[in-house]
Amino acid sequence: MQQYNKRIRKQCSWWLLAGLWAALGAQAQVQLPEEMSLEIYGSAHADFIYDFQTNDPDWFDVNRPSKLPSFPGEFGRDGHFYASVRPTRLGLHVTTPTDCGKLYTAVEFDWFGVGDEAGQTQTRLRLAYGQLGKFGAGQLWSPFMDLDVVPNTLDYWGPNGVLFFRNVQAFWQPLQGDRELVIALERPGATGDEGIFADRSDIPDVELRFPRPDLSAAYRHKTDWGYLRVAAIARYFKYDDLDRDDDIDLSGSDTGWGISFSSNVKPDDRNVLRLQAVRGAGVESYFNDAPVDIAPKLNFRDARRPVIGKVLPVWGATVYLDHKWHQKWSSSIGYSYLKMDNTNGQAPDAFSKGRYATANLRYYPTSQVMGGVELQWGKRNNFSGGFESEDVRLQFSFSYSFSYTLRDQSSWK
């Protein structure tokens, strides 16, 4: 079945490319309705990386502190060279006039395999949503995250302590413009790596269940120097003990929550300071790089329930500066941090703390072409035992982007 699903995904990818090619080749015969627009966009991307240490080979082309070794020699000896085209993207934006206003639709893919396909070059659906007026639904950025905080790193995964998650949701935007308010019901149990739900639990023989959607909301206020944004989320976990042949009951429930403050500060046209601070519990899956949301806690007072599930408190902070040296030269430099409060029922090698920093220099000979170099650093700390691991990487990246917008018949000539 897994091989069959992979084959279907590959076929869908080729049909998408063939359809775009056919549409562009039929310019003279196609007429778009008045006021309708179709944007075809994307990029061909190549990364060349020298890893001075080592990390999980399934995540060879990104810098993730949680994927660094949790014990000596876990991923072999230091020193690796990698090359990847997995960040390559292809997408469509369509605006269609309707009797109820403009309908906006977006579909986007990359080739960065995750979940069961981690480490592979596989078609991955990034965006698939529509919005009509103040309402929309589909897979897009969670309101709990702030896309404008994400810096211009060459590392495709980016800072570990920033919120970064696309999720299936239905959303409402009662306020739009300089003051923006969005409220959403999101798919529960989804993971940052898009793996199975059970990956978010560290409790043996227990299965997580999500009887309610996640509820998220965000308010953003634009200013002359940038903006301020606050976001919050609430989620409900149940965990079921599937073993009914003993007198021990590990079933239970818990509530996750999170609050985020973020901002862009623009002192001038050449600098953007990107800031975010997040505090919560059981919201690790919304972070860019954090493992389980819930873990076992020893409960010695109750012989029938010697272990209970506990959402893990977490907090993260990110500070990055994007600087434009010249029309063709720019840089990004910054630091990110994530800390989880582990339970007494977790293993000593469980992930506890991650740190991340990068500095790069990018050159744009034209607006569609980019070449750059980036120095990356990551560090992992285990829950106990004092073990920590570091990684230093040097990455060279090249990106060739395109965008073609069709608005009416004249756009095809």
Confidence at 299, pLDDT banded by 50, 70, 90: confident
Q: Which residue has the tokens 């240490």?
A: 53
Distance (Å, whole) CA 94 – CA 131: 11
Structural tokens at position 83 = 């090359």
Number of other residues whose CB lies within 10 A of the CB of residue 8: 11
For the chain, the 3-state helix, strand and coil shares in percent, each to the nearest 5, are 10, 55, 35
- N residues, the chain: 413
Which percentage of the chain shows pLDDT scores above 70? Answer: 86
Number of other residues whose CB lies within 10 A of the CB of residue 120: 14
pLDDT of residue 240: 87
Helix (H) / strand (E) element for 276: namely strand 271-281
pLDDT of residue 301: 86
What are 24-67's pLDDT values in tens digits?
Answer: 554 444 555 557 899 999 999 999 999 999 999 999 999 999 99
pLDDT of residue 412: 39
pLDDT of residue 411: 42
Name all domains of the chain by residue range, CATH numbers in brackets.
31-412 (2.40.160.10)
Distance (Å, whole) CA 166 – CA 155: 18
Alpha helix (H) ranges present in 116-230?
none
- Strand bridging mode 135-141 / 179-186: unpaired
Decide which of 100 and 6 is more confident.
100
Number of other residues whose CB lies within 10 A of the CB of residue 385: 11
Q: Which residue has the tokens 């002359």?
A: 224
CA distances from 216 to 141, 306, 377 (A): 11, 33, 32
3-class secondary structure, 111 = strand
What DSSP state is assigned to residue 201? B
pLDDT of residue 198: 46
The closest alpha carbon to 92, from 104, 103, 107, 102, belongs to: 107
pTM metric for this prediction: 0.88
CA dihedral 322, 325, 331, 335 (to 10 degrees): -50
Alpha helix (H) ranges present in 221-306?
none
Burial of 5 (0-12, 13-18, 19+ CB in 10 A): exposed
Given a contact cutoff of 8 angstroms between Cβ atoms, the answer to whether 96 and 105 are in contact is yes
